[in-house]
Structure formats: structure tokens, C-alpha cells
Structure 1
């Protein structure tokens, strides 16, 4: 738990802060050793990650759930028609109508709704139903009483235990949601009851995670798609697994011989806190979070949490009078006041006086009078937190891709969506470069990392289409 033990003489010069006092540089060196991870350390984490995947495939596990999605088909890319989807994330909800063109392409009409605090804590499913109603009415798509119900795919980005393609029991909440009375209940039934209360003729054809949706969206346009990943507010991955390797699967083997598995990898190491590189700043975040000792891996690599880790580091330095001359503010002292997007801006601020960082410290965080050294230290914090997130993100990728080495002998696509992958400076490059250290070059060259924007919405519609076709056969 002590983090990295990299010797001081090996520390990269990028983490030398020009103009810093000896005490300030010593503190930055401590952070550098904690946040920079050697390949040896990462290799040990990958090994344990793979072991936990096997445990989750053998039996229901409290760490890596390895949720069986019941998606056993691959789209051909030749399907056509319009299908509906609900995409529920950590901060927003989208309702979509997706039109498939039969050539691997899709267009969509959608509306986005911001999740209010009331929905996050009490009225989530009624809020979703109201958004569906608004979308259907605004686009004149509401089915009449004489028409058959609309089939809709439901991307539900929270851990569920699935017994069928259109049912899923909530395991626990993540990403800031805490709606009471839902854990242990079927989220499809909760949503359909809310839709019924509004008199909407809408049936949920399939419930899937955002990673399963991302994978299927990519698979519609690319037959080589093997894995879907989210690196955003939260994180998770899904992949096609050989059913013969899923010991806990008790149903009839599908004709395809494979099933999409949602790893729920955000929970990795949540039980022991034994293998991930925890620092005091991670421990503080976890202890004060809504889900202590939960989602340990997610808390080190996801957009919801990185800003908070950096804020904890700032306060640690300020308490020693090594940053901002020991000053803080009501904003800086408030949890979650430093959004991860500010770290993205800081990491690429190359102006002579670090003007963007000055704006963040003095205006956003309300701590006036920052020095250039203060700003340089802030930039170093942003780089360290972001680089650790990117390198740790490679852990799950490598563990999953090497789970089926037979597939690495031919081209495969990893579909990736999410704000961290898309916007955090250097994240995608560092993640891919780190992964290349653990996969033989001849196999790594067959892997294509493909940005799949909005995949969770399109994919839900694709799965609704596949599930509806299956039910009609």
C-alpha cells in the first residue's frame, strides 16, 4: 500500500519544480514515488487482475462480478430499421431513436437531460420515465393505444446481476447515485412500472451496461470488435468470452459459443486494498466518499475522482506550508470542488506564467496570490495524477485482452468511449504505450484502439434490435 519505491536518482526531471525550495521539492519527490508505477509493479497488478477475472467467471464474486449480459449475438452490420434507447450515465440521461442503415452505419435523434439531485437520491426511475415521455411527445412518436408497445434498449451503467437479457437485479450504486429501495430489485421492472404510471406503451427489450452497449455499437460497424471500454466519469469494460470458460453459466450454450461479459472492473481490489498503489490521498478520498471501500480501481482512474485526489494533495502540501504559503479557502476545503477538467487544463498549460493554472487557483478555488512555483507544483500534481490513471487503465486492458490469446493472432478492435480517454491530455497515448509493454509486439500490432463516441446509446438500440429479432423467431 505504500506506493512505488522508485529510487530518487531515477526520478524523471519533468518532476523537478524550477524555483522550488528543498522542502517543496522533497514533498514533490514523495508524490512522484507514490504515483509513478514501474512495469514490475504493474505486472503484479495485472496478474492479480487476471486471477480475479477467473474467480468471477467461476462463481459470483464480490470483487469482479463478471456479469453475464446474455448478449450472445454479433450484429452483421446489415440490419436496418429504427430502434429506441435510454442511456443512463453518472450525470446525464439520453433518450434516442437510432436508425441503422444496413451498411454498418447509424444515425440518431436524441435528447439529453441532466440528472437532478432529486433523481440521484430519490426519484430516478420516475425521472427516466418522464424523459422518455418528453422525447416521444416532442418527436410525435408516442404509440397510440391501438399500436404495439415500443421496444427500447436500456443502458444502465451500474452493476446488476442479470438472469436474462431484459432483467437485472441492482447489486449496488456507484458514481454518486444512492436511490433507496433499489438494491436487490429488478431495474427493468422499476422502470417499466414508472413508464406504466405515465401510461406509456414502452417495453424494455434489453438492459445492458454502457460497456456492453459500446461494444455492440462498434460491432455493428466492425466485425473485429472484441472489447468495449468506458474511461469517463466511471470506468468498466465488457468483452466477448468463450462460454466454455464461464464455469458459472448454467444455461444452454448459445449457438455462437460466446457471450458478452461485463467485468465491472471498477471494484477491483475493493476488498483488500492490497494490490493497487494506495496513497494517503486515495485513502482520504475513499473514507469520505459515498461508498467507502468500494470501487477502488475506479477511484484511481476515473473522471469523477481525479480532481478530488489532486485537491487532497493540495491540502496536504498547504498544511505543511509548502503550497500557497499554507493558505486555503472555503472552496478548496470543500469536497469535490476541484473538477477533473481543471487538471486537464493544467497539464497542458505551457504559458510563461501558467496563466490558466493561475485562473484555476485564484478564481475557481478562490485562493489569491499564487506564486509561479505554486502553479508549477499544481501542474506537476495534475501530470502525476493523470499519468497514474492512464497507466493503471492499461492494467484492465492487458488482463482482458490476454484472457483470450487465441484472438490476438488476428486483428481485433477495442472500442473506447468516455471523457478521460477523449479529453485528458496524453491519457490515450500513455495507456496504449503502457499496454504494449505487456503484450508481445506481434500480437499488439493486431490491436486497434477505436474511439467510439456515443456508443452506449447506439449500442443499446442495436441490442434492442437483436433481442427483439430473437424473441420474434
Structure 2
């Protein structure tokens, strides 16, 4: 690797890999923002779920809706007690299907049409002579008003159905169920996917105190021991992607300026899978502009926004061949570079590692802030429940999180376990329906 490229990468490394002392400072800042947020100030929304942790002994059969994107999943979930659950029935369906000539995500579709479609799918799954309580995971920005009331603030994830923003989701669902003559299906709880992850984990293990999504997006919730308005334990959805008390690299600032909503979701833009490929692309494009990479090739190299995907970074990190043949092949195919130099392939792998590792370390620093808030001396065992493709599939991601915990807490890190909780949205909605009774 030439000296100029090596020097530049070393400079970038110093920006992207915060040392232990800086991680501890970020954790402290996050803890302070939590305290502010509980009083209605600061960058964390600290939204009340109105739900405590389950006991693990809840039982019964529930209908659940998992609505977090353009595909919806409906399940019949049985809670068996002693932390055990069973999926009895399941139906997955898209909200738009050109072949079937429908699209309930477009502005031309109404809220009534959308929920009538959902209600019709529920009708396919249930016994008509049986009563069901329904838990609904609805993973869009909402104002939570009670355990069963949440108003949509704004659509995300390519959904633009009209007449929804500002509406109470459960009211729309109840009306659709009535129109479908599903009078025995009774919605009782509405949550987001982060809360669902924590509920699923804590049903199995009472030590689970933090739930988090580390995938395309990012958010974290936790069990607040002393919620100010009730004085009782309650799960708080922090909307932690909006945390902004950490160093932003020049590449983060460029990404933010080109985003739809500038000066918002600073942490999410630095750590979530939707953005990691773009941060890496901006880094590599900067190296190209300075003549340090692919100097003989034109603008097409890393010029197109979001042309580099997070799954590409995962493939780069998995390349353990002596000549980095996987990365070389990718460059030949996607950038039309006939013979990439080994040092150029190595630079791609280094950049992928920096972006991914920073994501893991920043998120872990926020977990540390939560733990310091709820257990300042870290005298208890804690389980952090995580769902999402980054945590599950990105090479070295979990190991980087674990190392960050050690960097912050040293020997006390042994009190903390990171646990993958897959697809907690459906089971979590069933648990929410059980807990709120």
C-alpha cells in the first residue's frame, strides 16, 4: 500500500474507531439525554409503551399483526407459560402486488382500503366461533397515547397510503374488523418492533432489560425501573436513532445533507444498515478524488449514491482469500476495473471494517448509557436482546460489540450478555396483549 493511501486510511481510522475513553464519554452523554428525555427535553423522545415486563407465566392464544413494511405477517401465537411460546398459524402477504393488480401502499389507496385488506387476511386465519385478543406491532413513527392507542406521525419505508397520518391506528383496525364481521377479534395492544423484541426476550429471561434493532434501521428500548408519571416499571421506547452527542465525520455530514430529513436521526445514519454502504462509498469516492485509489478510471467508480450496499461490505469482510479474489471480482464486475491492485482491494476491506466496527461500537456505547442509568454499579446480570441483519449476519459485528462492552466496563462486562432474538415482533405483540390484561 502506498504511503499516501496508508496515511489517509490511518487518519480515517482515528475518526471511525473511538477509543475506550471516548466510548465511555458517549455512554455518559447518552445517559444524560435519557434523563432529559424523561422530562420531555433533549434528543431522545423516551416514548412510554405503557407496558411492564412480562412474568413469563402469561398463557393463552392471541392474534398478532406485524406491520413494519410493505409485507405484513399475521400469526396465531400461543403463550405456554414458563417462557415458552408456539406459533400455531402464520400468514405473510404483500401490501402491493402488480400481478394481482393491487397496491395499498400508494397515495391512491385509502386507510379504509388498507385495513379492510388486512382484516380480510385475518379472517382467513382464525376460527370464526372463537374469540381472540389481538396485539399489533406497528413499526412506524407514532405518538403512543396508551397501551392500545397510537397515532401515526408519518409514513416511512415506501408506504404512502392516504388518510393515515394523525389517525389512531387501533381505531382504523377496529372499524375494519367490524366491517369484516370479525366481532370476536379484539385489538388490545399496539407496540413497535423494538418493544416486541424486549418483550419476547424478557418473557424467556427476566434479566432482559434492553431490546434493540440493529438492521436496516436502528432503535433501542429498555425497562425503566421508575417511570416518572407512574412510579412503576415501564418499557420506554427511546427512538435512540436521533441521539446526536457524538463525533460526526465529514462523510456523515455529507450523507446527512443529501438525506431527506437533514439534522435528524444522527445515530441511525451512522450505524444502520441502510446507510453503512453509503458511508463507505463516500469514503472510497474521497480516496478516488484524491488519486489514491483507481487513479486511471473515471467518475463511474463509486460516483452513484447508494450504489455500494451494506451486503457488499459484508462480502468484503468475509473475503479471506490470499489475493482478496472476492473483492477483486466485485470491482471488475461492478466498477469495470480489469485488474485491481491488491492494495486497492485491501483498502475496500479496511473501509468496510471501519464503517461496520464503528457502527457496533457506537451502538454499544448507547447500551452502556442505558445500563449506567438503570444499574449504576452494574451489580446485576443484564441481557441485551437484539434483532436485525447487522447483528445476525455482519461478520465480526457481535464480537465488536462485546469488545466495546469490555472497553467500557472492563471485568464487569461479564455481567452483560448480548442475545439474538429473531422475529420478536409477532411473539412480542402476543405478550403485549397478555400483559395488558
Give, in whole Å, the separation in 2 of the partners of 1:262 and 1:333: 37
Aligned in 2, Cα 1:193/1:343: closer, same or farther, shift over 3 Å? farther
Preserved CA contact (<8 Å) 1:86 1:93: yes
| Structure 1 unaligned spans of 5+ | 1-19, 270-274
Corresponding residue number in structure 2 for 1:260: 235
- Of 65, 68, 83 in structure 2, the residue corresponding to residue 89 of structure 1 is 68
Corresponding residue number in structure 2 for 1:161: 143
Corresponding residue number in structure 2 for 1:451: 420
Displacement after TM superposition at 1:171 (Å): 3.9
Corresponding residue number in structure 1 for 2:366: 396
CA deviation string 1:189-230 (max 9, x = no partner): 344455556665544321112111111111211122212111
Residues 188-203 of structure 1: pairs in structure 2 closer than 5 A: 188-193=170-175, 201=183, 202-203=185-186
Aligned in 2, Cα 1:322/1:331: closer, same or farther, shift over 3 Å? closer
Displacement after TM superposition at 1:363 (Å): 2.5
Preserved CA contact (<8 Å) 1:170 1:185: yes
- Of 9, 21, 27 in structure 2, the residue corresponding to residue 46 of structure 1 is 27
Preserved CA contact (<8 Å) 2:119 2:176: no
- Of 146, 169, 173 in structure 2, the residue corresponding to residue 187 of structure 1 is 169
Displacement after TM superposition at 1:127 (Å): 4.5
Aligned in 2, Cα 1:24/1:440: closer, same or farther, shift over 3 Å? closer
- Of 261, 284, 297 in structure 2, the residue corresponding to residue 314 of structure 1 is 284
Alignment partner of 1:217: what SS? helix
Displacement after TM superposition at 1:258 (Å): 0.9
Residues 50-449 of structure 1: pairs in structure 2 closer than 5 A: 50-59=31-40, 61=41, 63-72=43-52, 74-90=53-69, 92-108=71-87, 109-113=89-93, 122=107, 123=109, 126-127=113-114, 130-131=117-118, 133-134=120-121, 136-137=123-124, 139=125, 141=126, 143=128, 148=131, 150-173=132-155, 182-193=164-175, 201=183, 202-243=185-226, 246-247=227-228, 249=229, 253=231, 257-269=232-244, 275-325=245-295, 327=297, 332-364=302-334, 368-405=338-375, 408-439=378-409, 441-442=411-412, 444-449=413-418
Aligned in 2, Cα 1:43/1:62: closer, same or farther, shift over 3 Å? closer
Corresponding residue number in structure 2 for 1:9: none
Preserved CA contact (<8 Å) 2:387 2:420: yes
Displacement after TM superposition at 1:456 (Å): 1.8
Give, in whole Å, the separation in 1 of the partners of 2:417 and 2:50: 26
Corresponding residue number in structure 2 for 1:16: none
Preserved CA contact (<8 Å) 1:160 1:169: yes
Displacement after TM superposition at 1:64 (Å): 0.3
Q: Return structure 1 stretches of 4+ with deviation > 6 angstroms.
A: none
**Scaled by the length of structure 2, what TM-score is found?**
0.88
Displacement after TM superposition at 1:119 (Å): 5.5
State how many pairs are aligned. 428
Aligned in 2, Cα 1:119/1:47: closer, same or farther, shift over 3 Å? farther
Give, in whole Å, the separation in 1 of the partners of 2:302 and 2:179: 44
CA deviation string 1:308-359 (max 9, x = no partner): 1111122222222322235367694333222211111111211122222123
| Structure 2 unaligned spans of 5+ | 98-102
**Scaled by the length of structure 1, what TM-score is found?**
0.82
Give, in whole Å, the separation in 1 of the partners of 2:139 and 2:333: 34
Displacement after TM superposition at 1:365 (Å): 5.1
How well do the aligned residues superpose, as a CA RMSD in angstroms? 2.8
Alignment partner of 1:408: what SS? coil
Alignment partner of 1:324: what SS? coil
Preserved CA contact (<8 Å) 1:242 1:258: yes
Preserved CA contact (<8 Å) 1:175 1:234: no
Aligned in 2, Cα 1:153/1:346: closer, same or farther, shift over 3 Å? same
Alignment partner of 2:190: what SS? strand
Alignment partner of 2:422: what SS? coil
Verify: 1:29 aligned to 2:29, yes or no.
Answer: no
Displacement after TM superposition at 1:101 (Å): 2.2
Alignment partner of 2:361: what SS? helix
Preserved CA contact (<8 Å) 1:332 1:366: no
Aligned in 2, Cα 1:66/1:124: closer, same or farther, shift over 3 Å? farther
Give, in whole Å, the separation in 1 of the partners of 2:50 and 2:22: 35
Aligned in 2, Cα 1:359/1:143: closer, same or farther, shift over 3 Å? farther
Aligned in 2, Cα 1:413/1:176: closer, same or farther, shift over 3 Å? same
Preserved CA contact (<8 Å) 1:67 1:160: no
Verify: 1:465 aligned to 2:423, yes or no.
Answer: no
